[in-house]
Amino acid sequence: MKETIVVKIGGNASDQLPTTFFKQLETWWLEGKQILIIHGGGPQISQWSEKLQLPVKKINGIRVTNNETLNVTKAVLLGLVQPKLCQFIGNAGLPVIGLNASDNHLLEGKYLNQAEYGEVGQVTKINKKWLQEELQNQIGILAPLAQTHEGQWLNVNADMAAATIAIQLHAESLVLLTDVPGVLNSGKVVPKLTETVADDLFQQHIIKSGMMPKIKASFNALRNGVNQTFITNDLGRPGTQFQYVEK
């Protein structure tokens, strides 16, 4: 079985991908690795929501999503962000395919907490066999949207989705690519981070609430079989590597 690498790209990061990003993808591809990219689009979703005079609210880094915001989220992720990423990667000479939850029941989910977050879910099941077959011949670009068993679309936090999918694919690595070089303390990247240190930094308000879904997702992946997880702004640099220590 080929090694799988899951990369999550934030909405800000997707607009400013450096040359090293495409070089690293090419290196992994030539090494025979399967690559799945899960893309966010938070800034773009907020921008379009504001244009349409829809409320923009997050709780612990999770976007509160009513039906109108869900429609905007689908339109932005599937109509703007994903096609642009596919174009960038295709222009770099790499085979690529855009993917979403409706492809062969790819991502199934359930509500996270409908009373608090609205139309927001978590991934519970993936069509692993079909996805792995697709990744044999092309790099996958997947939107973090799921569907319930009944077909209702759900907005899913991209960091949480990436971790769950990495676990179910038994991925070798999960890389969360964002617009900062890693977890920062006094302006410097923390090279290695344990849960205990992360909790301390959060209590001291050094780690902000928007970073918490990324940190929780990274440790969740490590606890459940993903070999290594990182947060960085450049695939050519490791940034912060997460270390799971059994309590």
Please give the share of the chain, as a percent, with pLDDT higher than 70: 99
Number of domains in the chain: 1
Q: Determine if residue 185 is labeled as part of a ligand binding site.
A: no
Task: For residue 130, give both structure tokens.
Answer: 């079909």
Q: What is residue 238's predicted lDDT score, i.e. its pLDDT?
A: 83
pLDDT greater at residue 18 or residue 47: 47
Q: Determine if residue 127 is labeled as part of a ligand binding site.
A: no
Residue 172 amino acid letter: E
Q: Determine if residue 32 is labeled as part of a ligand binding site.
A: no
- Please report, for the domain that includes residue 94, its CATH number: 3.40.1160.10
Q: What is residue 14's predicted lDDT score, i.e. its pLDDT?
A: 73
Helix boundaries (H) for 169-231: 195-203, 212-223
Q: Which residue has the tokens 């062969």?
A: 104
Q: Please give the Cα distance from 8 to 141 (Å, whole number).
A: 10
Q: What is residue 72's predicted lDDT score, i.e. its pLDDT?
A: 97
Q: Determine if residue 41 is labeled as part of a ligand binding site.
A: yes
Question: Which residues neighbour 199 within 8 Å (Cβ) at sequence distance 6 or greater?
Answer: none
Its domain, for residue 194, covers 4-243
Question: Which residues neighbour 129 within 8 Å (Cβ) at sequence distance 6 or greater?
Answer: none
Least confident interval from 25-29, 90-94, 168-172, 180-184: 180-184
Question: Which residues neighbour 35 within 8 Å (Cβ) at sequence distance 6 or greater?
Answer: 4, 5, 7, 25, 28, 29, 135, 139, 140
Arithmetic mean of pLDDT over the chain:
93
Q: What is the pLDDT of residues 195-223, one digit of tens each?
A: 999 989 888 888 876 788 889 899 999 99
Work out the pLDDT band at 60, boundaries 50, 70, 90: confident
Q: What is the pLDDT of residues 85-125, one digit of tens each?
A: 999 999 999 999 999 999 999 999 999 999 999 999 999 99
